[in-house]
Structure 1
Amino acid sequence: MDDILENMTTLYNSSFDNITSSMDNFTNMTTPPTITAEQSHLVVRDLIYNHLGPVVCIFGMLTNIINLIVLTQNQLPESPYTSLTGLACTDFCALMLSFIYMEFSKDTYTYEWRIFDAYIFIGLVNVCTTSSIWITVQLTVERFLFVRHPLWAKDTCDRASAKVKVLMTVAAAAVFNIPRFLVFKPRYYKDMWILDSTEFRHSTAFFVINWLYSVCIHFLPLLILSAANIYLVFAVHQAGKQRQKLHIRNNREAAWQREQRRLTITLISIVFLFIICIIPSAFSDFPIAYALFGGDKTKQQFKTSSFYFSLQYIANFLVWVELSLNFVLYCAFNEKFRRVMKFTANRCIKKLNVPFCRKKNILLHVNFKSGQSSTRNSVLHTNSLTMNSKGSLVHHEGQPLQKVIQTGEKQETVPNGDTPLLNQSV
């Protein structure tokens, strides 16, 4: 996604008039043009940037907010969940920036929005996506080491070190993407502000940097993730066989192994989604795309061709999909994530005092050790589930408040009003 605006912004110069050499033939984009075969990418652009893209970004922002709420709970203290929290932050920021671009900046030709595009959106969205990619690589490598050397990893891979790794990854991504802040500048043309390329973008240095981006942000992560994922799939398969041979049943070690296995499967699914969605983006980078699909066209002809624009649009859309679907994978493959989400939702419902839940008195009880959850309902004038302990207050609906006092082998209930005494065995 590091070229997300590289060609999206050249639409100001090429979408409606097929630039041949300069902006002399630039037409007013507010007038709908007649779409020719060479401009068929405008249909793809309209479909993705005006319809599908915003919907995917809204869905992704909402699900990443849920991810952040759940992953920061104390019931998920393991280091991979800390890294997944960082991943949710970078994914949310990338989707938010992309949504702002599509809904507000894309077709607005004021100086302020061109400043936003040139010096905020292009650079920051690439910082976020680069961070997201390498946090995924970090997670996968950490899980690979955990499977290969579990005792060493258990002692060294803690929450604090995970936070440091995530912060270092984001910092490195910010430094690595500094050139992205220097490739465009605002330009006033025919009563509107457009984006124009800087001299740096056309320099040999930036051409080399583009190749470096393609290798470090796409092909190298794809290579590492593919190799590590193949091993993890094999390791999970072997662990299942070994567990069946040893007939491990309900003990603490078996529960811990199951939890780690589920976490590994979750990461495997994340990597599979990443590989599927990022491969088109890797081949949409201009140096790679021109080398593979350029044919007899010049660089300028290929860069303004309908095929290349369409490839960019589809690649960017798949990246937004990849940034948005982690929540679905967590819910599908990680039982502990689902349990914590239910627990968090129940706690929020209590705090918000939702009328429907207050009327029905619906409480969701989650057992984090057994993984079981149940819903218990109590209505007025029916017995409710109570826990009697020394000095605790027990309140049955329809009865006065009673105080339970521990006396020897029996509990004697001392009433507040005229309720008869209740003797219960301890």
Structure 2
Amino acid sequence: MPCGNISNMSDSIDQNKTLEVRVYEQIYHIFYHFGLPMICVFGFLGNVLNLAVLNQKRLQTSLMKMEQAASIYLIALASSDLLFCISAFMTTFVPLEMVFEKKGFLLYYTQNCAAVINIFIMTSTWVTVVFAVERYVAICHPLKSRYMLSMKGTRLTIGLIYLFSVLFNIPVFWRYTIQTVECPGNVTYFRLDQQIIFSDTFDQAYRGVWAIFGNLLPLVILVYANVCLVRGIRKSTVLRRQYGGYKDGKHVKESNNKITLTLIIIVILFLTLVAPSELIKQVVLLDSTLQFSHAYMSVEVITNFMQSVNFSINFILYCIINRSFRRTMKHMVLKFVKNYLPFFRFNYEPGEVSIPRGGGSFRSYRSVNLKFPNDSCEGSRV
């Protein structure tokens, strides 16, 4: 790399830029400097709320044993998505030319961020896959699920997924190396160069194995499980309409179907938003020169943004589909306002709210009047 005004190299050759380069720089600027930070901040806040709500004891006790296992998968997925949003957000501070004026956190993080992000992508992928398989067994083979599925097994599976994702992506930590560039005037710059991992054979083999276990195999399993789940829900709905059923059993069935519907939409979003990003990376296996093409890099920026959207919007999905989630979030907000905003005065009216499995009820704050001190106006009922 020539010395001199390295950080402003692009300005010195502005007249020589092709249309392809200009388009890439505009896309990079829009998506990485505006789109990605906003979606990552939204994803961070949404996933924090997901974890807070899903961990609430009130939500846990309102679910059957199988639904408690499902909530554990959702917690694991929200945790991985949260860490992905944090990791992806920090990449927005990386310079386009990958040239740094000093060694520091940003340089070392940029060197390792591909591995870190890959870990959370693989974790979220396989948590979704195992969750889909478990729901498939629960919906399509309910008798077998009583013996095959357990809370202990669910926690062990999630732990193994996290461990597997970390170990599988260790080689990626060696993908980038720091090069020191000495310039006249005692000026030093640091540049990140991509290198072959260990050897050319190992690098190509590793990329191929990653493509199989990180993309192709999960896609096949998710598509199959999703088709079976959709058919299972339709069949369940038809049978319930034909034969009816006990009220308690109906509530349980509806609860099962809501969780299954949530998973189906998660899988559809994954296939739509995550799969293109992962598949486009595997095109480089067929032609390694593509990674230097600005057209390819433009597509990569867009698909990376789509991937970030997927890890950031589950909060909206839960709010739309799951009434128990909305109710618990409302309870948390009211409790927070009561404890930390003393300028409100609350008058609670406890009411009875039935839980999905029937056979009892729990006390809830059905309505609340908000009053400001020294103000005769009464807030609207929530």
Look up the equivalent residue of 2:240 and give its one-letter code: R
- 2:255 alignment partner in structure 1: 259
1:8 corresponds to? none
Which residue is 2:134 aligned to?
142
- Given residue 86 of structure 1, which amino acid in structure 2 is its aligned partner? A
Equivalences for 1:179-258 in 2 at 5 Å?
A: 179-189=171-181, 190=183, 191-200=188-197, 203-248=200-245, 251-258=247-254
Aligned residues: CA RMSD: 2.7
Structure 1 or 2: more helix by fraction: 2
Q: Point out the more displaced range, 66-75 or 96-105.
A: 96-105
Are 1:68 and 2:51 matched, yes or no? yes
Deviation at 1:116, TM superposition (A): 1.9
The match for 2:103 is 111
Q: Partner residue of 1:277? A: 273
Q: 1:42 to 1:270 in 2, by over 3 A?
A: same
CA distance in 2 between counterparts of 1:378 and 1:311 reads: 51
Q: Do the aligned residues in 2 keep the contact of 1:130 with 1:173 (CA within 8 Å)?
A: yes
Rounded Cα–Cα distance in structure 1 between residues aligned with 2:370 and 2:310: 43
Deviation at 1:329, TM superposition (A): 1.0
Matched residue SS, 2:7: coil
Closer, same or farther: CA 25–218 of 1 in aligned 2, 3 Å: farther
- Partners of 1:227 and 1:27 lie apart in 2 by 55
Q: 1:378 to 1:322 in 2, by over 3 A?
A: closer
3-state DSSP of counterpart to 2:311: helix
> Shift of residue 86 of structure 1?
0.9
Q: In the aligned structure 2, how far is the partner of 1:366 from the partner of 1:284? A: 53
Residues 78-87 or 68-77, more deviating: 68-77
Cα distance in 2 between the residues matched to 1:156 and 1:195: 48
Match of 1:367 in 2: 353
Asked whether 1:124 is paired with 2:106, we answer no
SS in 2 for 1:188: strand
- Whether 1:308 and 2:296 are equivalent positions in the alignment is yes
Q: Distance in 2 between matches of 1:162 and 1:192?
A: 49
2: CA distance, partners of 1:241 / 1:25? 72
Q: What is the match of residue 91 of structure 1? A: 81
Greater RCO (Cα-Cα under 8 Å, separation 6 or more): 2
> 201-210 vs 63-72, which deviates more?
201-210
| Residues 102 and 308 of structure 1, relative CA distance in 2, 3 Å threshold | same
Partner of residue 32 from structure 2, selected from 49, 55, 62: 49
What is aligned with 1:6?
Answer: none
Report the secondary structure of 2:132's partner residue: helix
Taking the aligned partners of 2:352 and 2:203, their CA distance within structure 1 comes to 55
What is the CA deviation profile of residues 227-255 of structure 1, one whole-angstrom value per residue up to 9, with x for unaligned ones?
11011011111111111111235x22211
Structure 1 partner of 2:19: 37
**1:348 matched to 2:336:** yes
Distance 1:116 1:378, change over 3 A: closer
Name the count of aligned residue pairs: 347
Q: Any conservation in 2 of the 1:281–1:312 contact (CA below 8 Å)?
A: yes
Tell me, which stretches of 5 or more residues in structure 2 are unaligned?
61-67, 377-382
- Within a 5 Å distance, the mapping from 1:18-29 to structure 2 comes to 23=1, 28-29=6-7
